[in-house]
A and B are shown apart, each in its own frame.
With several copies, the nearest count.
Chain A
Amino acid sequence: MADQADLEITWDSREGATILRPMGDVDLSRSPSLRNDIRKVFENPPEKVIVELSAVSYMDSSGVATLVEAMQLSRKSNAKLVLCCMTERVHSIFEIARLDQVFTISPDVDAALAE
């Protein structure tokens, strides 16, 4: 299939935290990939889940919904969820949705680890 339906997402582990790094546009066609990986992380929930968003240049409300779901999963499993390295464009949709104060958002991975 030529259609690149899947979002490329790398996984990393640091100081007890799992770091997910999606790469590309997270829109209606790609957010299911992110949702999949997030659910997988919470099958064996680590203490902390960091979603590193530096390589996400665009996100629509389906991506935001996926991250809200991640927040709910993290609460259920007493894990901490931190978003980091948001581009300005992605940050603005969190502002519009008034979620910029609801999520823990860090400037970089080190700050996210320190949260």
Chain B
Amino acid sequence: MTSERPSVEIKLVSDPMFLAGARELILGLTHRLGFKQDASGQIALAVDEALANVINHGYERQCDQPIWIKIWTTADEDEPGLRIHIEDEAKQIDPDSICGRDLDDVKPGGLGVHIIRQVMDTVVYEKKESCGMRLKMSKRLASDTNADQPEHSHG
């Protein structure tokens, strides 16, 4: 189904000032799809964290590089929900090297990847065919805010 065209496709420049707009779009969309307010907020947070990582790590804070958000709503399928891809044209890295810090070792940073994995049902990082990285995430409507569930393993 992710081979079909996305319902919504956003291309934005890698400037932190556009994070707010992206979050609000996700909130509006998830709300409309029937996600509860909590879950909507968490999905928006995951997208924000993913975009922030592309800006910080992928593009090393360059503010004029492209980022794509592709959204598939899977409303009429067995498992209604959302699929979201975040794509960049930054340098390619080993997907297994993308992980957060040990949560017990309290220090600034290292939380974004944890948040993404905690909030979404599935999370897979991969190298794109040509250049750049792709983060594939999904969240089913049925899966409540799964903050208490164990994290998902790498893709």
**In the complex, how many angstroms separate the beta carbon of A87 from the nearest chain B beta carbon?**
10
Q: B33 is contacted by which of A3, A98, A102 (Cβ under 8 Å)?
A: A3
A3–B29 CA distance with the chains assembled, in angstroms:
10
Contact with A along B96-137 (1 / 0, CB 8 A): 000000011011110110110011000000000000000000
A89–B17 CA distance with the chains assembled, in angstroms:
21
A62–B57 CA distance with the chains assembled, in angstroms:
13
Per the CB 8 Å criterion, the residue count for chain A at the interface is 29
Chain-B contact segment, one of A9-17, A21-29, A45-53: A21-29
Interface range, B side: 35 or more
A65–B81 CA distance with the chains assembled, in angstroms:
31
Interface residues of B in 54-73 (CB under 8 A from A): 55-56, 73
Chain A residues with Cβ under 8 A from B111's Cβ?
61, 64-65, 96-97
Q: If the complex has contacts A65-B111, A89-B41, A93-B115, are A29 and B103 also in contact, measured as CB distance less than 8 A? A: no
**In the complex, how many angstroms separate the beta carbon of B82 from the nearest chain A beta carbon?**
9
Q: Please determine whether B16 and A27 come into contact, CB atoms closer than 8 angstroms.
A: yes
Q: If the complex has contacts A1-B76, A4-B34, A102-B106, are A28 and B114 also in contact, measured as CB distance less than 8 A? A: no
Chain A residues with Cβ under 8 A from B13's Cβ?
none
A102–B107 CA distance with the chains assembled, in angstroms:
11
A55 on interface, CB distance cutoff 8 Å: no
Q: Please determine whether A60 and B48 come into contact, CB atoms closer than 8 angstroms.
A: yes
Q: If the complex has contacts A27-B19, A61-B112, A68-B108, are A2 and B119 also in contact, measured as CB distance less than 8 A? A: no
Chain B residues with Cβ under 8 A from A69's Cβ?
108
Q: If the complex has contacts A61-B112, A92-B147, are A27 and B48 also in contact, measured as CB distance less than 8 A? A: yes
B45 on interface, CB distance cutoff 8 Å: yes
Q: Please determine whether B16 and A28 come into contact, CB atoms closer than 8 angstroms.
A: yes
Chain B residues with Cβ under 8 A from A60's Cβ?
19, 45, 48-49, 52, 112
A58 on interface, CB distance cutoff 8 Å: yes
Q: A3 is contacted by which of B19, B56, B75, B112 (Cβ under 8 Å)?
A: B75
Which of the listed residues B80, B108, B115 has the most CB atoms from chain A within 10 Å of its own CB?
B108
Residue of B nearest to A70 (CB): B108
Interface residues of A in 73-115 (CB under 8 A from B): 89, 92-93, 95-99, 102
**In the complex, how many angstroms separate the beta carbon of B41 from the nearest chain A beta carbon?**
5
Q: Please determine whether A28 and B119 come into contact, CB atoms closer than 8 angstroms.
A: no
Q: Please determine whether A1 and B80 come into contact, CB atoms closer than 8 angstroms.
A: yes
A42–B68 CA distance with the chains assembled, in angstroms:
40
A5–B111 CA distance with the chains assembled, in angstroms:
23
